[in-house]
Every structure is written in C-alpha cells, then in structure tokens.
Structure 1
C-alpha cells in the first residue's frame, strides 16, 4: 500500500505543477485565485446518513457562509434526500449520484468533478468498509486533496474485514476521526497514526426553543411529570432495549414517569413489544422521527443515551446545548462528550440497573440537574460547536493542500 506521502507526491507531480494541465482543462494556478478559500466536495455513499449527514450539513453551511464553493454529493435515496435537499436553498450545490453498485457510479463522480472542480474531496463513512471507492474515483479525477472522515469506531473482530478499510484508504491523504478513543481503535487495527487527526464533532446552537410548557403540550405531557428523553435511530447500537428494561425500576420511585423515545428504525416494533411485555407501555412514548426533535428536548428533565457504541454522539451534544444533564454509557465517543459527575453520569453499557440508578439520582435532585446542565452547556460552547469543527476541519484541508504544493516545489 502506498503511504500518504508517496501518494500525495506522485499525484501532485502529475497534476499540480504550474506547467502541467490538469484533467479539468486548466492549470492549478488558473483554477483558483491565490486568496480564494479552497472549494470542497462533501460526499457520502450512506443509505441513511443520519448523524453523519448532520455533520456534513454543518460543514456545508459553515463553508458556504464563508463564501467557499461547496458541493454536497450523495446517493439520492429517500433518507439522504430528506436530509440534504434543503441545503440547496443555503448556497450549497447538490450533486446526486447513483448507488455505489451502479456501473456509472465512478463515471458520474468523475463527470461532476470535471464540470465542477473542487480543491478537496471530503468523504464521510461509518467505518470505511462501505467506501465503495468514492475516494479512488476522486483521486483518479485529479482532486488535489482527498480527506476521509470515519464516524464510527472499529469494533469488528473479524480481521479479514480490515483489508477493505486499508484498500479504501490508499487514495486518501488524511483520515479524520471524531473522537480520541475512536482514533485509537483504528490505530489498533493497523492505520498509521500519522495518517490520522482527531476533530471532535460539533453542532450548531439551537436557533429556536419552544420552552418547557410548549414542548410538553406538544407531547401531551403534564407540567409536573418526570420526563426522560432520548433521540436516535432505533438500531442495536443505540441500546434502547436497555433503557426500556430500566423503566420498571424507575417507576417504583416515579410512578408518573414518561420516557420519550424520538426516532425511527427497524427495532421499533420489537421495542414496543418489549414495553408491553414489561407492563410499562403507558410510560414509554415512541414518537417517531421528528423534525422538531431539538425543540422537544425542552420537555425533558434528563437526556439519556444508552448506546452500545458511538463515534461522537451528536444527540448528546444537542442535549448539552439545550441545557440538559446527560446520562450516557461509558463507551467511545460518549465518554469524551460527557464529563462524568460534572455534566452528567456515565454508566457501563448494557446495564439497565446502572442506567436506572443514574436516572433516579438526577430525577430526584433538581439542584444537581441544574448544576450539570450548566456545566454541559459550557462544555458544549467550549468544545463542540459547529464553527469550531468546521474551522479545525478546514485546517486539515489547508495542511494537505500545503503538503501537496510543497511536494511539487521540491
């Protein structure tokens, strides 16, 4: 496998020299005025971008606001379209391409980059196994900088599956991870540390909040009921079944408790059946996907995230922004977002009893909730804003482009 420097030197020498015409039909010096901010293609092959897509939207909106040329490229399935299409009204160019298995997949990427060239092709994937050679197609098209963000940790035990990740990284100049322990998981599976940089996730602060009374009316909740809320896809990794298992324990102390579960997914029926079987269906509200999910956080006393694993959970960051204490699991990502004992509580994953104890403590102590909520809000503002994430990501772009230019100059 070529090293990052080998790939960058070879490709830079072939397309970036001032005396060489690029595949776009013009020299590198002609393509971009000296002071113009680097342009970027943000791309994902995901069938359900979800939090990864929100990350991409934050980058796209920040960069478009700065005056960069930004293209949001995606496989035009229903989930991606619902998430990304509105960005077209905010100065972001949209590029819809076929499914990665489509024979025209690579050609469509190449065509788009030829007609709308960018300085940076920034690919977003979960673990990298689903890359489908998007980075390679961009590299063959002569994009000066290839960057890839991995949004999930490497927890796959089958060593045979590592090869796909290493192959996908061959054309990549720099790998971004979204948390430190996530990065460590890729170092352990063989990705060279010098190829990676960690840029924690960030989200935009809320621009609108309905307030506690209005949010509770929207959900049909009483003004004095204890309310716990979680937001996320109903998938195995999010650990909702452990939360439902904790509800009977909580109802002993808080008989009018309501646990609000915001999100959709293939496990919804199973989770509803679990709540019925435990006799707690009256206390668990499945409200489905909600475009106003961040506003609904105002209805809650505590936010809970019972995940089995994460990369860096946007839902926890949004809860901190909304002024909620967070009860999460001590897993990659969440353990870096939540300061245990300061902005919330961390418990072992897969332990309903421990989850119930932590939620019981916060529901019982309003003063503790307020202190942790204030600490979480401050932590969000210092570490996890979208503009901070965008700024640090742009620094990665600049570094890769500078190294490429230096390689040409040698």
Structure 2
C-alpha cells in the first residue's frame, strides 16, 4: 500500500513523534511518503531511509506543489496530522481519488476569534471538499469534542489511543552512569518532567511544589526547552532550589532519564493524549498529573498514578510525598503502569487498528 502523510512540522513534538513511530512500523511493509510544511525539522533524520520526505513551505504555492506530489505518488491513503496539514491536504486534492484520513490530536481550542474561525472552516471543509474524510481521535474526549463542534456523525469518527514502541530497559549499571552524569546520587528520589517549558505545561506549579518539600534527597529533573525556561530558572534560583531542580534542555533520548526516575509529573493545564505518559508507563513509571478529562482516559487514580488539582502546588507536593513515603504503593503502581502500556499503548496495536481503517470501504 502507498501511504502519504502530511504534517505541519517535523519538529520535536507529540504528534510529530507519533508520526515517526508510525512511519517506522508502516515502512516495514508499505511505501511511505511524508510531506511537512513548516521549517521545523528536528526529527527528519530519525526516519527510516526508505521513507521519502518532502518539505513544502506553507505559502500559497504549496497547494499546487502538494497536488503535484500526490498525483505523482498516487497513494491509497492521504493521512494528515494537525490543523494546517488537514487544510492543505484537503484543498490540494480536490477531485483526486484518494482516501483522506485526519488525526485529531487534541481539543486545542481556546475559543477566541481565530479558533472560532478554524472551527467554522473545519465544518465547511468536512461537508464539502473533505465530505468523505475520516477523523481519527486519540481519545473519547477528543471524539466528543469533534462531534459537538464539527457536527460529524459517529460513522466518520474513530477512536485510536496513541502508541509508542517498546524498548529494552537499561541495566542498573547504565542507570547509575546516567545519574552520575547529572550529579544525582544512587539513593536520591527523582521526579521527572518531560516536555515543553511553556505555559500549558504549568511547570512553575512543579517548581512551587518542590519548594514546599524540604527533603534534600528529593531531586527534580526537567527535560525539554521552551520560551519560559529563563523565567523558570529565575524561579528556581529565587526559591533556593538550584541544588535540587535541574534543567537538562532538549535531549535526543529522554527515555534515558525516564529510566532513572521514580515518578513522572505532568502538571499541565491543557493536554491531548501526551506520549510522555505512555513512555513513562512503558518504563514502569507511575505518574502524578492533573485532573483533565483527556488524562483521566490514560491514568487511573491509585492504580497507575495520582491526580491533583491544576495549578495547586500544595496538592502536588502531597502526592509527591505519598510516593516518597510509601514504597509499596510505588512498587505496585509501577507494575500496573507497565501492564497498562502492554495492554493498551504499544505502537503495534495502534498501527494494526489504523490500517484496518485504511483498508475499510
């Protein structure tokens, strides 16, 4: 089967990483092409050599260029990811006999004028030039959002949770080496955050929670970068946490740091279905995260994680201390987290369900 994916960027983000994992699996038995629009290409070199990649800048000429590429490839399926890519794929292929699939990764609407206009365009396109397009939603929350805001029937909506590939865990010796490389002792308790240092992730809440805990053996590592890094570094310095909170920046292998952690904290005020939760479960790592509907579909309270109220550092600190002080709870949740990954979130399950949609009439 010929499959062409189109995505807004190939920078380092959740939707982009999901496409990378998907392409690696699909390229084992299919011909895969990928078009990306914006000039963020941090993941380009990670794709298999037999995946053909095209960069088409998202200006007005892009419609004609994409159409020409699609006509040359003649794919069975055109699968778009993220808003810009949905629109470019649908407009560029008017009249072409290609099956259209779009993955909706989140409910990322703030309902300002721009988002209201975006919602209107989706409604128009999905009943005109993309009237046969199928939408794949990463969760029931996202699917309900699509139904209510885009007016689509159930027959055009499928729910497939995200997936990540399984990996061989690092040995104890490798984990000790990683700890020493960032000056963390073998008996330190590690809290990890992985993601963008931007407002929706609410990392400042985690820093505030760390300031409420006096245990010097409790360390926090922040893996990722973003426009709030300087502000967060000043917050850490002001709260005298520089010897307990560490900024590691972007990392090619964030899973190396997940492997050495004791618990992952995701203090977001908004999320779709973040891959980092699945990557934590893969490593048998329990999580502490906020009570968002999308996250409640992944995390089960006191089974594989704990919840706290968004932007409430006192609640977060209490949850962290519960893990620190209750190793039996932590051990059982670790087992449950790994089981959750195996049962639901292996990328092979995702690919199988997606290809059933590709092949359906």
User: Which residue of 37, 45, 53 corresponds with 1:75?
Assistant: 37
Shift of the alpha carbon at 1:290? Answer: 0.4
SS of 1:234's equivalent in the other structure is coil
Change (3 A) 1:305 1:238: same
Whether 1:317 aligns to 2:274 is: no
Q: Give 1:287's aligned residue.
A: 248
For the residues of structure 2 that align with 1:68 and 1:300, how far apart are their CA atoms?
37
Q: Residue 58 of structure 1 contacts residue 386 of structure 1 at CA under 8 Å; is this kept in 2?
A: yes
Shift of the alpha carbon at 1:131? Answer: 4.2
For the residues of structure 2 that align with 1:364 and 1:272, how far apart are their CA atoms?
28
User: Which residue of 130, 145, 148 corresponds with 2:102?
Assistant: 148
Q: Give 1:255's aligned residue.
A: 216
For the residues of structure 1 that align with 2:292 and 2:358, how far apart are their CA atoms?
29
Change (3 A) 1:197 1:44: same
TM-score with structure 1 setting the length: 0.81
Q: Residue 110 of structure 1 contacts residue 141 of structure 1 at CA under 8 Å; is this kept in 2?
A: no
Change (3 A) 1:210 1:106: farther
Please give the residue correspondences for 1:340-359 in structure 2 after superposition, counting only pairs within 5 Å: 340-359=301-320
User: Which residue of 129, 149, 155 corresponds with 1:189?
Assistant: 149
For the residues of structure 1 that align with 2:85 and 2:110, how far apart are their CA atoms?
16
For the residues of structure 2 that align with 1:135 and 1:237, how far apart are their CA atoms?
28
Shift of the alpha carbon at 1:138? Answer: 4.2
User: Which residue of 147, 165, 169 corresponds with 2:122?
Assistant: 165
Q: Residue 302 of structure 1 contacts residue 324 of structure 1 at CA under 8 Å; is this kept in 2?
A: yes
Q: Give 2:197's aligned residue.
A: 234
Shift of the alpha carbon at 1:74? Answer: 0.9
Please give the residue correspondences for 1:9-408 in structure 2 after superposition, counting only pairs within 5 Å: 38-46=1-9, 48=11, 50-65=13-28, 67-75=29-37, 77=39, 79=40, 81-89=41-49, 91-98=50-57, 100=58, 102-125=59-82, 128=83, 130-131=84-85, 133-140=87-94, 142-158=96-112, 160-161=116-117, 162-170=119-127, 171-172=129-130, 173-194=133-154, 195-207=156-168, 209-211=170-172, 212-250=175-213, 252=214, 254-399=215-360, 402=361
For the residues of structure 2 that align with 1:58 and 1:75, how far apart are their CA atoms?
19
The number of residues matched between the two structures is: 352
For the residues of structure 2 that align with 1:49 and 1:140, how far apart are their CA atoms?
30
RMSD: 1.9
Q: Residue 137 of structure 2 contacts residue 143 of structure 2 at CA under 8 Å; is this kept in 1?
A: yes
CA deviation profile, 1:291-334 (whole Å, cap 9, x unmatched): 12101112211111111121111001001101111111111332
Shift of the alpha carbon at 1:76? Answer: 5.6
Q: Residue 88 of structure 1 contacts residue 94 of structure 1 at CA under 8 Å; is this kept in 2?
A: no
Which of 180-189 and 334-343 deviates more? 180-189
Note the residue ranges of structure 2 that are not aligned, 5 or more in a row: none
Note the residue ranges of structure 1 that are not aligned, 5 or more in a row: 1-37, 403-410
Q: Residue 86 of structure 2 contacts residue 102 of structure 2 at CA under 8 Å; is this kept in 1?
A: no
Larger Rg: 1
Q: Residue 206 of structure 1 contacts residue 294 of structure 1 at CA under 8 Å; is this kept in 2?
A: no
TM-score with structure 2 setting the length: 0.92
For the residues of structure 2 that align with 1:150 and 1:200, how far apart are their CA atoms?
11
For the residues of structure 2 that align with 1:182 and 1:329, how far apart are their CA atoms?
17
Q: Residue 262 of structure 1 contacts residue 287 of structure 1 at CA under 8 Å; is this kept in 2?
A: yes
Which of 39-48 and 153-162 deviates more? 153-162
Q: Residue 121 of structure 1 contacts residue 138 of structure 1 at CA under 8 Å; is this kept in 2?
A: no
For the residues of structure 2 that align with 1:148 and 1:256, how far apart are their CA atoms?
46
Q: Residue 215 of structure 1 contacts residue 298 of structure 1 at CA under 8 Å; is this kept in 2?
A: no
For the residues of structure 1 that align with 2:294 and 2:279, how far apart are their CA atoms?
14
CA deviation profile, 1:148-184 (whole Å, cap 9, x unmatched): 1111114423373321332453433111110111222
For the residues of structure 2 that align with 1:218 and 1:76, how far apart are their CA atoms?
35
SS of 1:285's equivalent in the other structure is strand
